[in-house]
Amino acid sequence: MKRNFILLLTIILSCVSLCFGQGKDAKVKVIDTAYNQGSNIVFPELTDQMSENLDLLGRVWGFLKYHHPAIAQGKYNWDYELFRMLPGYLQVPNQKERDAYLVKWIQHYGRISVNKEVVLVDSNAVLKPDLRWINPEQLSPKLYNLLMKVYENRWQKNNYYVVADVFNANNAKFLHEESYANMYYPDEGFRLLALYRYWNMVQYFFPYRNLTDTDWNLVMRECLPSFLDASDTLEYINACKRLIAKCDDTHGSLYSESMMTYLKYFRTPFDVRFLHNDTLVVGSYRNPEKIDNSGPKIGDVITHINHLFVQQLVDSLAPLVAASNHQAKLRKISSIITSGWEDSVCISFVSQGIIKEATIPRFSFYDLNYVDTSDGLCYRVIDDSIGYISMDDLTAEVIKTLSDTLQHTKGLIIDLREYPQKVFGNSLSPIISNQSISFAQCSKPIIENPGAFGRKSSSYTVKGKKYYSGRIVILVDENTQSQSEFCAMSFRTNPKSVVIGNTTAGADGNITSITLPGGIQTYFSGLGVYYPDGTETQRVGIIPDIYVWPTVRGIREGRDEILEKALEILSR
């Protein structure tokens, strides 16, 4: 009987927490299950003062996560600590009591000891921490001094939540971030957590936060209503999309297997694309056997979808799509603009100069062909004299033989309009470079100083023993992204090269993966990439030497007008 009583008492004591959380030696994943079924937070009306309070809380919560010695070591379940403090915080009547509440909350996690090992931020850092919000004019003296004390004695060793990924060029790798994948529709507390988590990851580990159209300092408060007011799964997904889009980074995307299984979504059996003047045309068939005879054909111009002008749809979708520039945004919109929640869609289009309208069927993702349709041919000779390399199919085995093969050609085309899948693109460098020359600089996050990105390290071409001496034309377009853009930077150092095509995606640098409540996976560019002189590539992309844009007629006739231009250049 006594043994049973002691066992019961032990269980009870292990589940008891203080007002603000568990003891600092708690084993987070084993013990802290208090909010596994939901946060149970009830939010009051989102007044201006409440918005200001929640904005400040999000900043403090994220700041402590990456700086406070006890919290950065993972001694608390920091997600659940937010839920523990929120009920009381939501009741504070004014700024004075708000700041006092935050001071008490921070003090709960232990005394801040002097850390003599703190490494100061390098004065030459490419990007420095933005802590302007820790402002003595806007915070009480106690709160300001406490936050500064945390910063001046910040944790410098292994952080529980983020490390430098040695297998991914040392960009940030986020750890121990629960996905809460069983929540198809996270409650208000978990939706607020999603906003806080993402905003702070960008604030401290995104190399281009200074290039966003909207000042990142304004984004959290701007997005609060859409997260707290999201009435169902779809509205929550869209709130996340709007937030991610604020990064203006083409690497930004959103995927949730659990949510996509829960939600039914239908697509047309053809793909569309935008041309230079924002004209929307049918570009290709995904499933020819599912094409409705009354619907649009390849090269037809789409004017309305479900009786809405295409431009109206673009304007409504644009805030939900993360992209570095206009062409990249249109590229992404083209993949969803004809999709929807019904299994049919009304399309108005122009075919051979005739205005038509048809209601055609749409199909689920699983009923359409999304298998790679590439012919797998990574190298061929065109017109017996011009070499053509398709980077998406290029293999290491082929590269070994290219030096000898290319000697019999008078010109070379390197197609970067698709992503190098099988090799690191710069492995082609020895084939086309006669010198080792810097073509890019990269900045990397300084994990012990969140928000700082270190001095740029240079990337060089590789001098080849048997390099190509002929002329080179490099093909790019809005599909040229990330490693493809990096390759273009390398290849164009060849003095006999020319880049043709149109605006690239403007998203360079290895990606960093992020997990949000609801099983959502998203990404952003984790490294800063620049030209050797420091010029930005992010959002700008690779600027072609000669612009070439596909036309309606060219698409209708099945022509590759960018490739045609390359052949014209090399045949002169």
The encoded tokens of residue 321 equal 């799509």
- How far is residue 193's CA from residue 220's CA, in Å, rounded to a whole number? 12
**Do 291 and 208 have their domain in common?**
no
- 339 with 391, same domain: the answer is no
**Could you please report the per-residue DSSP string of 158-185?**
--SSEEEETTTTTEEEE-S----TT-SS
Q: Return the closest-CA partner of residue 365 out of 323, 335, 321.
A: 335
Residue 29 confidence (pLDDT)? 45
Rounded Cα distance between 407 and 424, Å, is 23
Beta bridge partner(s), residue 524:
512
The vertex-47 CA angle with 42 and 53, nearest 5°, equals 75
> What pLDDT is stored for residue 212 in this prediction?
98
pLDDT tens for 194-244 read 999 999 999 999 999 999 999 999 999 999 999 999 999 989 999 999 999
Token representation of residue 382: 């065109």
Give domain status of residue 12, yes or no: no
Helix (H) or strand (E) holding 539: none
Q: Which two tokens stand for residue 164?
A: 């430098």
The whole-chain average pLDDT of the chain stands at 91
Bridge partners (DSSP) listed for residue 174: 162
Residue 363 included in any domain: yes
Q: 112-150, pLDDT tens digit by residue? A: 999 999 999 999 999 999 999 999 999 999 999 999 999
Q: 531, exposed or middle or buried, with CB in 10 Å at 0-12, 13-18, 19+?
A: middle
Range of the domain at 189: 21-243
The residue ranking higher by pLDDT, 463 or 85, is: 85
Tell me: do 528 and 390 sit in the same domain.
Answer: yes
Answer yes or no: do 486 and 399 share one domain. Answer: yes
pTM flag (> 0.85) = yes
Q: How far is CA 302 from CA 288, 404, 476, 552, in A?
A: 18, 47, 25, 11
| Whether residue 385 is found in the same domain as residue 359 | no
- Interatomic CA distance for residues 127 and 206, integer angstroms: 10
**Amino acid letter, 116:** K
Query: What crossing angle do the helices spanning 216-228 and 188-205 adopt, rounded to 10°?
Result: 160
Domain boundary among 335, 367, 399: 367
Q: What is the pLDDT of residue 456?
A: 77
30-42 pLDDT tens trace: 378 999 999 999 9
The pLDDT of residue 425 is: 66
Range from 313-322, 420-429, 445-454, 505-514 carrying the lowest mean pLDDT: 420-429
Residue 475 belongs to some domain of the structure: yes
With contact defined as beta carbons under 8 Å apart, do 55 and 215 qualify? no
Note the pLDDT of residue 424: 73
pLDDT band at 3 (very low <50, low <70, confident <90, very high): very low
What pLDDT band is residue 263 in, cutting at 50, 70 and 90? low
Is pLDDT of 426 > 90? Answer: no
The pLDDT assigned to 113 comes to 96
Q: Average pLDDT in the 322-330 region?
A: 98
How many other C-beta atoms can be found within 10 angstroms of the C-beta atom of residue 274?
22
Q: Which of the four pLDDT bands, split at 50, 70 and 90, describes residue 17?
A: very low
pLDDT > 60? residue 364: yes
Q: What is the pLDDT of residue 340?
A: 92
DSSP letter for 365, please.
G
Per residue, the 3-state secondary structure of 427-443, as one string, reads: HHHHHHCCCCCEEEEEE
Beta carbons of 138 and 59 less than 8 angstroms apart: no
pLDDT score for 422: 74
Confirm whether 9 is domain-assigned: no
- Is 125 within a domain? yes
Same domain, 125 and 97: yes
Same domain, 26 and 150: yes
Question: What per-residue confidence (pLDDT) applies to 457?
Answer: 84
- 110/422: higher pLDDT: 110
203 neighbors 62 (Cβ within 8 angstroms): yes
Residue 118: how many CB atoms within 10 A of its CB?
A: 14
Which pLDDT belongs to residue 36?
95
Verify that 488 and 531 share a domain, yes or no: yes
Q: Is the pLDDT of residue 535 over 70?
A: yes
Give the pLDDT of residue 260: 64
State the Cα–Cα distance between residues 329 and 308, nearest whole angstrom.
19
Same domain for 117 and 230, yes or no, is: yes
pLDDT at 15 over 70: no
Q: 528 and 421: one domain?
A: yes
Of the given ranges (119-123, 349-353, 370-374), which has the lowest mean pLDDT? 370-374
* Residue 372 domain flag: no
Q: What is the pLDDT of residues 161-198, one digit of tens each?
A: 999 999 889 999 999 999 999 998 999 999 999 999 99
Q: Which of the listed residues 367, 396, 430 is the one where a domain comes to its end?
A: 367
CB atoms closer than 10 angstroms to residue 411: 23
Q: Could you give the residue ranges of the DSSP H alpha helices within 138-232?
A: 141-152, 188-205, 216-228
| CATH number for the domain that contains residue 312 | 2.30.42.10
**Which of 48, 41, 145, 149 lies closest to 89 in space, CA to CA?**
41
What distance in Å separates the CA atoms of residue 151 and residue 549, rounded to the nearest whole number? 51
pLDDT of residue 22: 44
pLDDT at 25 over 70: no
The answer on 232 and 105 residing in a single domain is: yes
By C-alpha distance, which of 551, 548, 537 is closest to 501? 548
Predicted confidence (pLDDT) at residue 11 exceeds the cutoff of 50: no
217, 132 Cβ separation under 8 angstroms: yes
Question: Are residues 471 and 362 located together in one domain of the fold?
Answer: no
pLDDT in tens, 297-307: 999 999 999 99
Residue 369: which pLDDT band, with cuts at 50, 70 and 90? Answer: confident
Domain count, the chain: 3
Q: Among 308, 333, 367, give the residue marking a domain's end.
A: 367
Q: Whole-angstrom Cα distance, residue 511 to residue 172? A: 9
* CATH number for 528: 3.90.226.10
Highest mean pLDDT out of 259-273, 373-387, 512-526 = 512-526
Q: What is the C-alpha separation between 570 and 572, in angstroms, rounded?
A: 6
Identify whether 1 is part of a domain. Answer: no
User: What are the φ and ψ backbone dihedral angles of 101, each rounded to 5 degrees?
Assistant: -65, -40
Residue 11 lies inside a defined structural domain of this protein:
no
Q: Which two tokens stand for residue 442?
A: 């990269």
